[in-house]
């Protein structure tokens, strides 16, 4: 079930967001959470635009069903996820308090600007996430050591002329040289649209849902 909401808080930024609950949702059970950060082209005040890529694209266009709770906030025009790190974590606290989430199965993913945001948010709270799936984002490799313990699966196209592939490969190298086990899927011939393959991939989804916070 795909629904639209507004997070209301006196302390944090009030995000508009999309919520998806699995079929046969039972509030007495615990569910994994996929927390999604969209790209720069989806900023603004239209949640359908914010969810035009990623897992909710498949929900809206083909009625695909998923076994997780999905939360996707929207970033305002001309802003970046890095402007809202504290508010995103406050918003995540709210989601954890109000929905039946398995605290050891919280997954963070995002594309382009949201791929960068995935790295940044995890670095701000490195013990909160069971796995990261950044797609064609900028690697913040000088600070990679703080998230090297988290399972990470990166997707990036080798013909990306918006965010070059080396942003992800440098991040991969920094993570794994410090003892991490991150991996990357390089999509040959793909430009800055690696999210189509990533969020259509059974492999990525099965990998992500198999991870638990250690």
Q: Mind listing the pLDDT tens digit for each residue in 5-16?
A: 999 999 999 999
Count Cβ atoms below 10 Å from residue 13 Cβ, excluding itself.
Answer: 17
Confidence of residue 1 (pLDDT cuts 50, 70, 90): confident
What is residue 178's predicted lDDT score, i.e. its pLDDT? 84
Answer whether residue 148 is part of any domain. Answer: yes
Give the list of residues 6+ apart from residue 9 with CB closer than 8 angstroms, or none. Answer: 87, 90, 91, 94
- Does residue 110 lie within any of the structural domains? yes
Q: Is 78 left (phi over 0), alpha (psi -120 to 50) or beta?
A: left
Measured CA to CA, the distance from residue 165 to residue 177 in angstroms comes to: 18
Residue 214 lies in a domain: no
Neighbouring C-beta atoms of residue 50, cutoff 10 Å: 26
User: What's the pLDDT tens digit per position in 158-205?
Assistant: 999 999 999 999 999 999 998 999 999 999 999 999 999 999 999 999
User: Above 90 in pLDDT, residue 214?
Assistant: no
Q: Is residue 48 over pLDDT 90?
A: yes
The alpha carbons of the chain give a radius of gyration, in whole angstroms, of 16
What is the share, in percent, of the chain residues with pLDDT greater than 70? 100
- Mean pLDDT score across all residues of the chain: 97
User: Residue 94 pLDDT more than 90?
Assistant: yes
- As a whole number, mean pLDDT of residues 66-77 equals 98
Q: At what angle do helices 113-124 and 85-98 cross, to 10 degrees?
A: 80
Q: Can you tell me the distance from the alpha carbon of 158 to that of 149, in angstroms, rounded to the nearest whole number?
A: 26
Burial code of 202-213, b = ≥16 C-beta within 10 A, e = fewer?
eebbeebbebeb
Instruction: Give the domain range for residue 161.
Output: 2-209
The pLDDT of residue 139 is above 90: no
Average pLDDT of the segment spanning 71-87: 98
Residue 103 burial by Cβ neighbours in a 10 Å radius (0-12, 13-18, 19+): exposed
CB 18: neighbour CB atoms within 10 A? 22
Buried b (16+ CB within 10 A) or exposed e, 185-201: bebeebebbbbbbbbeb
- Whether 56 is in a domain gets the answer yes
Structural domains counted in the chain: 1
CATH number, domain at 86? 3.40.50.1820
Residue pLDDT, tens place only, 110-125: 999 999 999 999 999 9
Whether 117 is in a domain gets the answer: yes
pLDDT above 90: percentage of residues in the chain: 97
């Amino acid at each position: 079930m795909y629904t639209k909401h507004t997070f209301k808080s006196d302390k944090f930024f009030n995000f508009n967001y999309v919520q998806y609950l699995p079929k046969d949702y039972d509030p007495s059970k615990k569910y994994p959470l996929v927390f999604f950060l969209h790209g720069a082209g989806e900023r603004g005040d239209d949640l359908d635009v914010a969810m035009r890529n990623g897992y909710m694209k498949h929900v809206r266009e083909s009625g695909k069903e998923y076994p997780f709770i999905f939360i996707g906030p929207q970033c305002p025009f001309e802003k970046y996820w890095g402007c809202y790190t504290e508010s995103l974590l406050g918003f995540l606290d709210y989601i954890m308090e109000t929905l039946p989430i398995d605290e050891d199965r919280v997954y963070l993913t995002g594309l382009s600007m949201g791929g960068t945001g995935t790295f940044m948010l995890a670095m701000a709270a490195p013990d909160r996430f069971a796995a990261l799936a950044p797609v064609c984002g900028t690697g913040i490799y000088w600070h990679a050591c703080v998230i090297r313990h988290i399972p990470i699966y990166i997707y990036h196209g080798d013909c990306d002329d918006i965010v070059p592939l080396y942003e992800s490969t440098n991040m991969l190298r920094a993570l794994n040289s410090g003892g991490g086990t991150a991996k990357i899927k390089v999509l040959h011939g793909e430009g800055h649209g690696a999210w189509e393959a990533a969020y259509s991939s059974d492999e990525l989804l099965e990998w992500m849902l198999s991870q638990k916070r250690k």
